[in-house]
Amino acid sequence: MSEHLTVPKTYKLYIGGAFPRSESGRTFEVLDSRGAFLANAAKASRKDARDAVVAARLALSGWSNATAYNRGQVLYRIAELLEGRRAQFVAEIRQSTGVSQSKANQEVDSAIDVWIWYAGWSDKYLQVVGNANAVSGPYFNISTPEPTGVVAIVAPQGDLRDAGSLLGLVSVLAPVLLSGNTAVLIANEQAPLPAISLSEVLATSDVPAGVANVLTGSVSEIVPWLATHADVNALDITGASDLDWVDLQIAAADTLKRVLPPEPGVPTPSIERIRFFTETKTVWHTKSII
């Protein structure tokens, strides 16, 4: 009996709604929890990161000007697609981390719950974060949050059983998108398959091209360029604790980026993560005097 020829799959990047190879042509091997080969993935370069920022900037106006209700409905749709691909995500989590079937199912459940939790805030956080300010005089003074702009995100890294290869992704991406920001997400370096599958979900959902861009490869190689990129407005280095993140903050300061510092494990869902990636605009308006 003849033997079957195995053709290893090579996954690509997700930039501007398309799936390009790295412009450098580089790939790296993705291994399972036992060190066995799973697939090849594109190794993003500095040029790929720049392309992702360009795509995110082009998509910013349309996404930020959509109504909060519309963005919420788009995010709910992503949760539905995540549920539809449950078996795929469970398999990828088990392969990457070696956890049990029940624990992998639990992570997918948690990831969907977190995504829906953030989606529900899309048309509500304005009332919590914004406010009418008390002033002396015949004026109205109202503060309202607006999106920061293009946000570069480092997904949780480290011990995959703690980082949550899928849960970590949605915990950092959803709060950035719901308020109208666009994102360049650097996937978990050791376990990029859930991020690649998430990008396929994004591509088949109602998310406009360029709103979320996903890069795979070396975190230490890509992040410094994003930290100094003048067209990146904020930096979430949640997963960069193994890097010299103080240097990243210093580099980001040159272009006045706000930086969310690293933290261990998976971030807890919080209104503060939404607030962090918004800018407050205050409007004064005179009261009509009869």
All domains of the chain, ordered by start, with CATH?
10-286 (3.40.605.10)
What is the structure's pLDDT at 212?
98
pLDDT of residue 10: 87
Provide the 10 A C-beta neighbour count for residue 247. Answer: 11
Q: Is the dihedral of CA 233, 253, 245, 259 positive or negative?
A: negative
Q: CB count, 10 Å around CB of 128?
A: 12
- CB hemisphere CA count around 98 (13 angstroms): 9
With a cut of 70, list the residues of the chain below it in pLDDT: 1-7, 130-133, 159-163, 288-290
pTM: 0.91
H or E segment at 212?
A: strand 212-215
Tokens 């042509």 locate to 25
Sequence-ordered list of residues with C-beta below 8 angstroms from that of 31, at least 6 positions apart, any chain? 37, 38, 190
Burial class (CB in 10 A: 0-12, 13-18, 19+), 283: exposed
pLDDT at position 160: 65
